[in-house]
């Protein structure tokens, strides 16, 4: 989240695809690879939680085994802490951030953290390149999309698209303080898949997800979340952040824990 991946700056030619179309191609590619996600993933994640204004911080180190189809997970606090069933923490590595989803991620005043995503519906679009028409105009319904100045169309570079929600979208928001919007999509040109997806909201709310490829699997490698907590009647403010780094992935074919075998 803190930094967008930057590619080599280039001057784009007039035949380059519009950013709206590139966004749609990337969303379709992400949805397709998530549909082929491995049935089980094990990983370790270190989540650094901080509340700088009050000088508090802590690290939550966990080993996680997750069943990707329904996000059922076994969580082991390291080195020898609590073992429990829950959701993939802080988000399942196969999570597609180019989706409709609900994020339940809260950092408390004592730097405790709980998080998971649910009601995930990938974004998919028809392939308009196959339409029999002389002119095809494509525009994202909710966002104005543009290429960022650091965007690259080099084969080994990254395409960076910035997104700004239209005013009518914001006016329809029921709870603005709990809503964030897409702000940046960074695409790995070699794979056509997201390398980073960033959302931003009011009052410093930020959710950023970064990805990498491992054994032909597209996985979350880093996630960052920030929000501002308010006291009663919105008196008092506390800005908190959680920064999670994933590693030590494996992809077992069979349930790595018996509790993940039930109803598999």
Checking if the pLDDT of 6 tops 50, the result is no
Average pLDDT over the chain, rounded to whole?
86
Checking if the pLDDT of 118 tops 80, the result is yes
Q: Residue written as tokens 């695809």?
A: 17
Checking if the pLDDT of 140 tops 50, the result is yes
List phi, psi (to 5°) of 177: -70, -20
Spatial separation of the C-alpha atoms in residues 195 and 96, rounded to whole Å: 11
Q: How confident is the model at residue 4 (pLDDT cuts 50, 70, 90)?
A: very low
**Interval 190-218 mean pLDDT:** 95
Q: How confident is the model at residue 256 (pLDDT cuts 50, 70, 90)?
A: very high
Spatial separation of the C-alpha atoms in residues 73 and 224, rounded to whole Å: 20
More confident residue, 6 or 163: 163
Q: Residue written as tokens 């880093």?
A: 222
Predicted local distance difference test score (pLDDT) of residue 7: 35
Burial class (CB within 10 angstroms; exposed 0-12, middle 13-18, buried 19+) of 171:
exposed
Task: Copy the structure tokens of residue 54.
Answer: 């009050």
**Interval 6-20 mean pLDDT:** 54
Spatial separation of the C-alpha atoms in residues 94 and 85, rounded to whole Å: 18
**Interval 169-174 mean pLDDT:** 82
Q: Are 147 and 19 within 8 A, CB to CB? A: yes
Checking if the pLDDT of 10 tops 60, the result is no
> Smallest Cα–Cα separation from 125: which of 39, 235, 30?
30
**Pairing label, strands 158-165, 72-77:** unpaired
Checking if the pLDDT of 11 tops 50, the result is no
- Please write the tens of the pLDDT for every residue from 214-239: 999 999 999 999 988 776 545 567 88
Let me know how long the chain is.
264
Q: How confident is the model at residue 178 (pLDDT cuts 50, 70, 90)?
A: confident
More confident residue, 17 or 71: 71
State whether the Cα torsion 182-103-68-126 is positive or negative: negative
> Smallest Cα–Cα separation from 90: which of 71, 105, 77, 101?
105
Q: Are 224 and 243 within 8 A, CB to CB? A: yes
Architecture of the structural domain at 19-249? Clam (2.50)
Checking if the pLDDT of 248 tops 60, the result is yes
Checking if the pLDDT of 110 tops 80, the result is no
Supply the pTM of this predicted model: 0.87
- Please write the tens of the pLDDT for every residue from 38-89: 999 999 999 999 988 788 899 999 999 999 999 999 999 999 999 999 999 9
Checking if the pLDDT of 15 tops 60, the result is no
Residue spans per domain, the chain: 19-249
> Smallest Cα–Cα separation from 41: which of 253, 244, 209, 211?
253
**Interval 115-132 mean pLDDT:** 82
List phi, psi (to 5°) of 90: -75, -25
Predicted local distance difference test score (pLDDT) of residue 228: 84
pLDDT exceeding 70 applies to what percent of the chain? 85
Predicted local distance difference test score (pLDDT) of residue 215: 96
């Amino acid at each position: 989240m803190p930094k967008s991946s930057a590619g080599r700056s280039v001057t784009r030619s007039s035949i380059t695809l519009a950013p709206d179309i590139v966004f749609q191609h990337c969303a379709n590619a992400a949805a397709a690879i998530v549909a082929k996600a491995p049935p089980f993933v094990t990983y370790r994640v270190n989540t650094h939680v901080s509340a700088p204004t009050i000088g508090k911080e802590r690290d939550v180190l966990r080993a996680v085994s997750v069943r990707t189809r329904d996000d059922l997970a076994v969580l082991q606090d390291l080195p020898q802490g609590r073992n429990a069933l829950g959701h993939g923490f802080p988000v399942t590595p196969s999570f597609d951030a180019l989706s409709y989803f609900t994020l339940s991620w809260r950092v408390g005043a004592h730097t405790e953290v709980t998080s998971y995503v649910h009601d995930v519906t990938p974004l998919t679009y028809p392939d308009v390149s196959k339409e029999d028409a002389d002119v095809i105009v494509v525009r994202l319904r909710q966002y104005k999309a543009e290429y960022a100045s650091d965007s690259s169309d080099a084969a080994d570079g990254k395409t960076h698209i910035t997104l700004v929600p239209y005013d009518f979208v914001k006016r329809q928001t029921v709870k603005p303080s709990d809503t964030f919007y897409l702000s940046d999509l960074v695409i790995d040109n070699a794979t056509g898949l997201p390398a980073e997806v960033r959302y931003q909201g009011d009052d410093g709310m930020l959710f950023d997800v970064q990805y990498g490829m491992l054994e032909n699997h597209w996985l979350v490698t880093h996630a960052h979340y920030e929000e501002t907590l308010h006291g009663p009647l919105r008196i008092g403010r506390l800005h908190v952040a959680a920064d999670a780094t994933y590693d030590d992935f494996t992809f077992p074919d069979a349930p790595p824990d018996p509790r993940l075998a039930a109803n598999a």
